[in-house]
């Protein structure tokens, strides 16, 4: 009897000891995990913030957008940030566009241009003088650099020298296939631009009205730059959308992601 009791007491003591050891290990593991996490966070912070960081600017979230940087998963987020404020937008475009900042225009409560610019060129492509918002100029510059010129090289072995447009600001209501609408168009605040074609260094001309339903390299170019616009603009409508867009791309800097 006494022997059984002693055995039980010994077992209990061993159990308590085991539990103590387990708790100690859990504590040590927790501390180790905390230290590893701390090192990772600190290392990551250093990698991003250090002036001599090996992280390329295009991959560094603390570095602003640069138009000629390679495209990374951060590019669109950086673009939206740069497009949101006039000073950021203008400084990003410096050296990549011919434009002049203008005073804001206000025709009415529904028709106005904030962050107004007079735009004449993005990258290597001229434009007929265009009054628009800086955000449109910035998205045009990204499109020219990362979609228009690469597609011109790939499909036509030449360079885009001029972008034909039919304006950005227009104080009017939306037009739909069913007729007019009571809602104002994004053109009423210059948050959109209509593009009708392109001229190239070798003399080639492409116009959406004549070439969208054609064949060969011109069509391949037009499809590629429409798809490219979907990356840089919030909403892109092409002749595929409806008959109202048979002769132009409607590119918008705000909206719900339509790409057609």
Residues 163-202 that bind Zn ion (CB under 5 A): 192, 194
Quick one: 78 or 165, whose CB is closer to Zn ion?
165
Q: What is the dihedral of CA 246, 234, 83, 150, to 10 degrees?
A: -60
Q: How many residues bind Zn ion (CB under 5 A)?
A: 3
Quick one: 69 or 194, whose CB is closer to Zn ion?
194
Q: Which stretch binds Zn ion (CB under 5 A): 10-18, 40-48, 76-84, 244-252?
A: 244-252
Give the C-alpha distances (Å, rounded to integers) separating 247 from 12, 23, 126, 157, 254.
Answer: 87, 73, 20, 24, 22
CB of 194 to Zn ion, least distance (A): 4
Q: Which stretch binds Zn ion (CB under 5 A): 76-84, 201-209, 226-234, 247-255?
A: 247-255
CB of 235 to Zn ion, least distance (A): 10
- Structure tokens, 206: 């492409």
Closest CA to 186 of 238, 147, 133: 133
Kindly report each contact of residues 81-89 with a partner whose C-beta sits within 8 Å and lies 24 or more positions away, as own/partner: 82/138, 83/134, 83/135, 83/138, 83/139, 83/253, 84/135, 86/114, 86/115, 86/134, 88/64, 89/115, 89/134, 89/135, 89/137, 89/138
Judge contact between 232 and 79, C-beta under 8 A.
Answer: yes
Residue nearest to Zn ion (CB): 250
Quick one: 139 or 250, whose CB is closer to Zn ion?
250
CB of 250 to Zn ion, least distance (A): 3
Q: Which of 97, 198, 250, 253 binds Zn ion (CB under 5 A)?
A: 250
CB of 252 to Zn ion, least distance (A): 8
Triad 197, 202, 206: Cα angle to 5°: 20
Quick one: 75 or 185, whose CB is closer to Zn ion?
185
CB of 175 to Zn ion, least distance (A): 9
CB of 37 to Zn ion, least distance (A): 50
Interaction site with Zn ion (CB under 5 A): 192, 194, 250
């Amino acid at each position: 009897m006494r022997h059984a009791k002693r055995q039980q007491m010994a077992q209990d003591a061993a159990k308590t000891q085991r539990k103590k050891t387990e708790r100690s290990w859990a504590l040590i593991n927790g501390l180790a995990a905390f230290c590893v996490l701390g090192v990772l966070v600190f290392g990551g912070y250093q990698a991003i913030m250090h002036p001599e960081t090996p992280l390329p600017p295009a991959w560094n979230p603390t570095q602003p957008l640069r138009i000629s940087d390679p495209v990374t998963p951060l590019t669109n987020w950086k673009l939206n940030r740069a497009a949101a404020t006039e000073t950021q937008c203008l400084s990003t475009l410096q050296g990549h566009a011919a434009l002049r900042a203008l005073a804001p225009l206000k025709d009415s409560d529904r028709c106005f241009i904030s962050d107004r610019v007079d735009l004449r060129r993005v990258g290597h492509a001229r434009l007929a003088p265009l009054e628009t918002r800086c955000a449109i100029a910035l998205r045009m510059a990204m499109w020219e650099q990362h979609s228009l010129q690469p597609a011109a090289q790939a499909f036509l072995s030449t360079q885009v020298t001029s972008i034909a447009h039919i304006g950005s600001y227009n104080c009017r209501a939306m037009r739909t296939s069913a007729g007019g609408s009571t809602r104002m168009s994004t053109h009423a605040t210059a948050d959109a631009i209509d593009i009708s074609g392109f001229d190239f260094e070798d003399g080639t001309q492409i116009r959406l009205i004549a070439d969208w339903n054609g064949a060969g390299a011109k069509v391949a170019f037009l499809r590629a730059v429409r798809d490219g616009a979907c990356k840089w603009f919030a909403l892109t409508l092409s002749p595929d959308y409806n008959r109202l867009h048979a002769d132009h791309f409607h590119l918008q800097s705000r909206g719900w992601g339509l790409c057609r």
